[in-house]
Structure 1
């Protein structure tokens, strides 16, 4: 299967040139022309490698790196930059980039870096749970829907974590109550419906499609 590379570059001529060279080498290439679109594509398409320009409209290359790394995404990232100061290189690596290539680009240098990073096996983060465009990091407690960060209370997080850990499985209310609230819980069983409603309001705040589905008379399921 072809490796999928996401290129985020706002200089259209350069983007087309790099896309052409990568395609010629047999890679599948997606191109985004601004930072926000790049981050959104990175979250949704799950490419094998990112090539990102440092300076981008809407969201810088450094900020894309930071936002991906803070959610546990370990995709290899190569920064394109005209900055050659040591401090700039350190800033790029600190933000989460794996490598950087100085502009103007040399085709042979770019391809050698691409091949080197694609040979590396990505480390799977056991704390990162994903479903569709929803990501949840158990370690950092960060939740994202696409590029949008979502703030959850502790119990909302626990409930979502349980659902995303059991995708496409119909889970009864009793099972949710025992697993999320505990066997000793003596409160109102309607608490589940209340928290499901809270989660839906936050997950669908920008008219995103519903992921938490109700199975009447049984419970709930996380599915498309």
Structure 2
């Protein structure tokens, strides 16, 4: 009986609760080898939604994405920043390896315009990543954005202030982002498959190239 159960559990169609969910598309490497190991697909989800819940602005939430954005820009795909709260600092982006010629900044006057721009850039297939700062995304809009991300094979990441975060989200990945003395503290609160993940401190100075490879430890357990 045990042998029969073991054979059943080895079947690729069976998912066990202590394993990460299986994704059809490989993720976009984050540049942090240890973080990739905790994410289904080995990186930021492609063809899916990611929500970064930020305790406050300017705590490294954009810096933690720069290795991935640099990799995307080298793939000759566009990066769209939709309704950013501040003008992006081009020298910092270029210094992190992001090709500025592949960067779009979309200004939106209201929530409806922001959601429209997100959906159109995701669905176009030209954008490898769409980063957005909407004031509100209801469930219906999240479903539309998910379909658009799938159609365009794009990584969609939006930023939510912690005070506005809902209890539930249609996003495949949700991460709380908090300041830390030596980097950015991240806590995965939702991912496809797998149990709870430990809180981690990302040291941006040790982020590697956005390619899977052996590298010095770039994360450590939070105290």
More helix per residue = 1
Task: Name the TM-score, length of structure 2 as normaliser.
Answer: 0.34
Task: Name the TM-score, length of structure 1 as normaliser.
Answer: 0.34
Larger radius of gyration: 1
